[in-house]
Structure 1
Amino acid sequence: MELRIRRLLTMFVMLALFFVALGCEKMDRSLQPEGKPVQNTSFLQDEEATSKEEKIKIGFSMDTLEEERWLRDRALFKAAVESLGAEVEILAANGDDALQVLQAETLISQGVDLLVVVPHNAEAAATIVKKAHLAGIKVLSYDRLIKNAEIDLYVSFDNERVGELQAEAITKIVPKGKYVYIGGADTDNNAHLFKKGVFHVLQPLIDKGDITVVYDQWTKNWLPSNAYANMQEALIANEGKIDAVIAANDATAGMAIEALMETGLAGKIPVAGQDAELAAAQRIVEGTQTMTVYKPIPTLAEEAARLAVAMARGEFIDTDRKVNNGKVEVPSVLLPPIAVNRSNMDETVIADGFHSKVDVYKGETR
């Protein structure tokens, strides 16, 4: 009798388990689209999440976008970063130190993997580096060196060589005479490097008495209007008797030439600039500016983007040059600049596609 009861109980339990299993299967099917088999998609979700996590994001803090040159840097850097499968967030402070620090903090709070900085003020930007490092984010100094901070990499052109090229070109034309030097912003380390290169060439001639620098002034905030005022001041102080002008970039050179035009001296006095801006290239073929220094911005932007993404991925960057920024020897990549005048315009900026021949020559057949 007991054996019979046990068998009945066993059968009852087995039937109960069968119906429970059947109910679960129906419920599972009811949750799927009609006519489609059940699929395990959890691995796809994990793969998608991993892909999102691995997407590198670069923060790009720029001093300004008020000059043609920096608009070009922004576009080229963005395209280069995205071509490497990463993304970039770009903010520009337009010469405001406090705003640049605030914008950098915003990029840091967004969780960028690496911060690229074009500093307005080489000293003030050290604060940005400290904040980034506290958040575990490395910093690449783009084109301009951040001073007195432990930056992780500096990518630029050989800016002392830029100044040397300017002075070499002008001293070939004017080996003796009165020189005017219109510098860049005192807060920009590159402005100091340009000037150092210029005077490296001029100083032996100054020591010999062949050259006299009759005017030497910085241009506050790189503003062209300040460069114009400087040139006017130089002309007044020397009663228009000057023989050559070296300006820290093409924007300042352009305003120096405008002041020279007002006194009928444009085209008669050699003027050097740098950056190879379109307006400067046009002035060179017209004869009012003697030369510029071409720094292939596509090369700089692409190299900086490549290095930034590699660093963000944790790769080691090996460089053979270091630049002292007042605190550390900064690993550096310095690209060579190129002197450009009327004779090699076609073979340099035009051949590279930096400017079109139509734009440089304003549609004239050459």
Structure 2
Amino acid sequence: MNKKIHMVLFLFIGLMLTACTAGETVSKAVPEKTPVVDEETIKIGFSMDTLKEERWLKDQALFKEAIEDLGAEVEIVAANGDDALQLTQAETLIQQGIDLLVIVPHNAEATAAIVHTAHRAGIQVIAYDRLVKNADIDLYVSFDNERVGEMQATAILDLVPKGNYVYIGGATTDNNVHLIKKGVFNVLQPAIDRGDIKIVYDQWTEDWSPEKAFLNMTEALAANNNQIDAVIAANDATAGGVIQALEAQGLAGEIPVAGQDAELAAAQRIVGGTQTMTVYKPIQTLTKQAAALAVRMAKGETVTTVRSVNNGKIDVPSILLAPIPVTAENMRDTVIADGFHTGTDVYGAANE
């Protein structure tokens, strides 16, 4: 008799559990700290301008690692400088149901359309390293790019307090180039006003192309009969083009050249004496910060900042990390100590 009662009770409990599971709610005791319902995995979309430069390959790998370390997923696409493609790729990410979009804009103005599309779908957008102009961007995470320019100019002005200067800018579609140039001229302007230095050539470089930077520098040398005393280039790729033009005239290593990004080729040129300095932006810090903020925001958490940057429409909540000037003297204490490059890669196995 006991066996029959037990069997009936077992069947009754089973039926009740099945009925409850099919209903809208089930009331039951839950141990403390145990979630009632598992959260779905957060999915972040990462729309990148390009993967043609060493710098951005590092960002891609480090951001993916940081997102996955947080238990989230990331879908990464790159448009390689094509504005229309970047818009199409971002729309695809949005249609795939991402929880938040992180974007490195190729064109600061054109990518405003991506922000509008994401917001219509209820998706927040973080501008990564480069600001999106004229859009209600939710957060901007970058380095202090104006400070980057100030570091470049300070290093070169200390070496060349008087003379003819060339400025080789980056792509005008990138808002960072305007901030960097502003920082450069914050430092140079007093010397310009005194007549100590003269800007004899000042040109932007389309798409940050080293080949176009080479042509610009070749033109600057020809226009000034090679009478150039210093060059400030917007990044290490353009600095590479500048140095090629100087090499063609037998001037490499004689004229100080500044860059930024701490690319391996630039680090090698610095220890080799053809490039004077670069500005190191610890990308691992940037990727970890951006990844953590992206996941938090995707979960609905509020992020507050103490700084903002106006993008032509709003004051965008911003987190701006500190850049670091790098020369031959502090190479080991900066990019090598951080593991950004190895000593062997920078100096060569024979000299390490």
Equivalent position of 1:313 in the other structure? 299
Q: Kindly report which structure 2 residues correspond to 1:186-201, keeping only aligned pairs within 5 A, or say none.
A: 186-201=172-187
- Provide the residue aligned with 1:34 in structure 2: none
1-structure distance, mates of 2:101, 2:301: 15
1:54 CA displacement? 2.1
Residue 41 of structure 1, CA deviation: 12
Corresponding letter in the other structure for 1:325: N
1:337 paired with 2:323, answer yes
1:67 partnered with 2:27: no
| TM-aligned CA deviation for residue 50 of structure 1 | 4.8
The Cα RMSD (Å) is 2.2
Aligned residues: 331
Matches within 5 A, 1:221-232: 221-232=207-218
* Distance across 1 between alignment mates of 2:128 and 2:331: 26
Task: For 2:82 and 2:164, locate their aligned partners in 1 and report how far apart those are by CA, in whole Å.
Answer: 36
Residue type of the partner of 2:112? A
1:160 aligns with 2:158: no
Question: Residue 285 of structure 2 corresponds to which residue in structure 1?
Answer: 299
Question: Using the alignment, how far apart are the partners of 1:313 and 1:68 within structure 2?
Answer: 32
TM-score w.r.t. the length of structure 1 is 0.87
2:85 to 80, 96, 99: 99
Paired amino acid for 1:261: E
Q: Following the alignment from structure 1 to structure 2, what is the Cα–Cα distance between the partners of residues 307 and 209? A: 47
In the aligned structure 1, how far is the partner of 2:125 from the partner of 2:212?
32
The equivalent position to 2:69 in structure 1, one of 83, 106, 110, is 83
2:243 counterpart of 1:257: yes
Q: Distance in 1 between matches of 2:232 and 2:37?
A: 54
Ranges in structure 1 where 5+ consecutive residues have no aligned partner: 1-17, 29-37
SS of the aligned residue for 2:335 comes to helix
Separation (CA, whole Å) in 2 of partners of 1:100 and 1:49: 39
* 1:92-135 superposed Cα distances (whole Å, 9 cap, x missing partner): 00000000000000000011000000000000000000000000
Does residue 217 (structure 1) correspond to residue 196 (structure 2)? The answer is: no
Q: What SS class does the counterpart of residue 74 from structure 1 fall into?
A: helix
How far apart, in 1, do the equivalents of 2:136 and 2:282 lie?
Answer: 27
C-alpha displacement of 1:223: 1.1
Q: Does 1:57 align with 2:18?
A: no
Letter in 1 for 2:209: L
Whole-angstrom CA distance in 1 between matches of 2:74 and 2:20 = 31
Shift of 1:224: 1.1
Query: Structure 1 residue 170: deviation in Å?
Result: 0.1
Alignment of 1:1-366 (within 5 A): 50-51=37-38, 54-366=40-352
Q: Which letter maps to 2:154?
A: E
**1:14 corresponding residue in structure 2:** none
Deviation at 1:39, TM superposition (A): 10
Q: What CA distance in whole angstroms lies between the structure 1 residues aligned with 2:188 and 2:312? A: 26
Aligned equivalents of 1:325, 1:303: Cα separation in 2: 21
1:350 counterpart letter in structure 2:
I
Cα 1:349–1:200 shift into 2, 3 Å: same
TM-fit CA distance, 1:165? 0.2
SS in 2 for 1:107: helix
- The C-alpha deviation readout for 1:139-172, integer Å capped at 9, x for no partner, is 0000000000000000000000000000000000
User: What letter matches 2:318 in structure 1?
Assistant: S
Secondary structure at the counterpart of residue 276 of structure 1? coil
- C-alpha separation in 1, matches of 2:21 and 2:85: 44
SS of residue matched to 2:140: strand
1:42 Cα deviation from its structure 2 partner: 5.8
TM-score, normalised with respect to structure 2: 0.90
Q: What one-letter code is carried by the residue in structure 2 that aligns with 1:143? A: D
Larger radius of gyration, structure 1 or 2?
1
How far 1:365 moved relative to its partner? 2.6
Cα distance change on mapping 1:40 and 1:77 into 2, 3 Å:
farther
Which one has a larger percent helix, Structure 1 or Structure 2?
Answer: 1
Q: For 1:94, give the aligned amino acid.
A: N
List structure 1 runs of 4+ shifted beyond 3 angstroms.
38-43, 46-51
Of all paired residues, the percent bearing the same amino acid is: 69
Structure 2 Cα separation of the partners of residues 41 and 264 of structure 1 = 83
Distance 2:240 2:295 in 1: 36
The one-letter code sitting in structure 1 at the alignment partner of 2:312 is G
Q: Using the alignment, how far apart are the partners of 2:224 and 2:175 within structure 1?
A: 29
